[in-house]
Amino acid sequence: MVKGINRQVIVVNSPDPKLFEQAIFLLREDAFSSSGTTPEQVIRQARQAADGYLRKNTLDPRVGSRLGAALWGLTGAGAASLVWLCVLFLL
Q: Tell me the domain boundaries of the chain.
A: 9-90
Q: pLDDT tens-digit profile of 76-91?
A: 888 888 888 888 777 6
Q: pLDDT tens-digit profile of 25-72?
A: 888 877 777 667 788 888 888 888 888 877 777 666 555 556 667 777
DSSP string computed for 27-72:
PPTTTTTTT---HHHHHHHHHHHHHHHHHHH---HHHHHHHHHHHH
Question: What's the pLDDT score for residue 3?
Answer: 65
User: Which of left, alpha, beta for 36 (phi over 0: left; psi -120 to 50: alpha)?
Assistant: left
Q: Distance (Å, rounded) from C-alpha 5 to C-alpha 78?
A: 63
pTM: 0.50
Question: What's the pLDDT score for residue 54?
Answer: 74
Q: For the chain, give the number of residues.
A: 91
Question: What's the pLDDT score for residue 64?
Answer: 54
